[in-house]
Structure 1
Amino acid sequence: MPDAGTAAAATTAPVLYAVADGIARIRLNRPEAANGMNVELLRALHEAILAAHADPGVRVVVLSGEGRNFCAGGDVKTFAAKGEALPDYLREATAWLQLATAALIALKAPVITKIHGFAAGGGGFGLTCASDIVVAAESAKLFSGAVRVGMAPDGGTTVTLTQLVGLRRAMDILLTNPTLSATQAKELGIVSRVVPDAELDAAVDDLADELAAAAPRALSETKRLVWDGVGATVAAQLPDEARTVSELSGTADSREGLAAVIERRAPRFTGR
């Protein structure tokens, strides 16, 4: 059992990380700042994502935020306090955001992002667009926010958002900075599912359990193929799809899945 000092350090860490039953939970933990992103949080986020990547027992990752918001974007108070040193600070901050975003997309395990309150900026909105499945509370609000403070979108948003909604809608969203309701974000394809606020935790837990029980290599390869397909032609992607299907067909999980269909029972996947 950790001592009081260890427990206090864990609860004040900018990112919390825990794994149970094949589900890694990464929680942004600066609720007093609406989980605003500074260098320390971004560095810790990258470390948490790498920890999930390195753990072969992780089958799904749930990304969420503590407090009233998922993430309100960059920590504007910290940014403003930097004064003329802000460009140097942001070079470091955006470098960590780049690493975290790339690592999130490269994770073998599918990523479920849970949105409540605000999801804004390269942190909140960008990570949302870089996730695999997004579940939002009905009251959630999403916006880009960059142009409002005289900056440009980051966190890969200029690519991921365009893939999700198309060039014209992406340009409109990024230039005019509308605040989108969860329902509007779902209609645009930014959010996967919208649920009543009181059901958000249960909906995400059920989905995480469902994915954790699925064939992990099948999920991983499907995720990889979809992300690798961004910007690719169908002709370029077809050989990779065929090769992947052939390789997966030789796994124990594939044989188990086929047997379960024939025997009309639930499959028991082991990851082999």
Structure 2
Amino acid sequence: MTDITPQPLDEDAAWAAFDARDRNADGRFIVAVKTTGIYCRPSCAARRPRREHVRFLDSPQTARAEGFRGCLRCLPDTVTRDRQAVAAAIALIEAAEAPPSLEALAAQVDYAPHHFHRLFKRATGVTPAAYARARRTARAAQALAAEPSITAALYEAGYAAPSRFYADSDQRLGMAPGQWRRGGEGVNVVWTIVGSPMGSVLVAMTERGLARIAFEENEQALVRSLPAAAIGPADDATRDHIAEIVAATEVPDPLLPEPARRIAFIEAVSQALLGTD
């Protein structure tokens, strides 16, 4: 499975996360209690010991090597394994020509399907199917620009049938595939840039759906991707609506690979804007 190395935290930050039972800190470090000989995840529900009785270690392996044993209440050894399973499933989705089924993904990482579905969504904010859909949409946009025909593009992107491809294009590209190939010809696009915990996000929309969502882009990048479209800034109401949705979107697990976190966040924003799941 993909290796995910916990990021170091200073002891004051680690104590603050432990004291707050911050679930986002799970997997970043382990809390070892010297008086009990037990190590826990930061979010453990057990009563907090005094700070001088606590050590912060980088992993369960380090804690075990120093003679501590895992807490039977919070099961800290499962945190790293869960994150590795999600990262491995993401890698499988990225490598697949067509979206893999939940059952196939779960079998590859040795989890029960329904349990893994919940685990993946908790870590990324979206389901495995939604993450795969986001990757297929991105491939479709690339294929429409590179392939000699729309038919070739839809199969290159991993679609099994034209009907699904055309339906997705309406909502996920904001226009018909032919219009996308012609640089947004005949399409009106409105855009705005809003802030998020993961960086600035450009959101561009048409009457049909989403034309583009991307991190750290500007109007010039949008014009380059859709040179034939009529592009203008969103009105105040649309901008405020988009900003509200982006602000309310859950940030994916910070220990997952950054490209995967961005894809998952964009997909979660897309679902909220489109009213889908």
- Answer whether TM exceeds 0.5 for this pair: no
Identify the structure with the greater helix proportion.
Answer: 1
Between structure 1 and structure 2, the one with the greater Rg is: 2
Q: TM-score, normalised by structure 1?
A: 0.27
Q: TM-score, normalised by structure 2?
A: 0.27
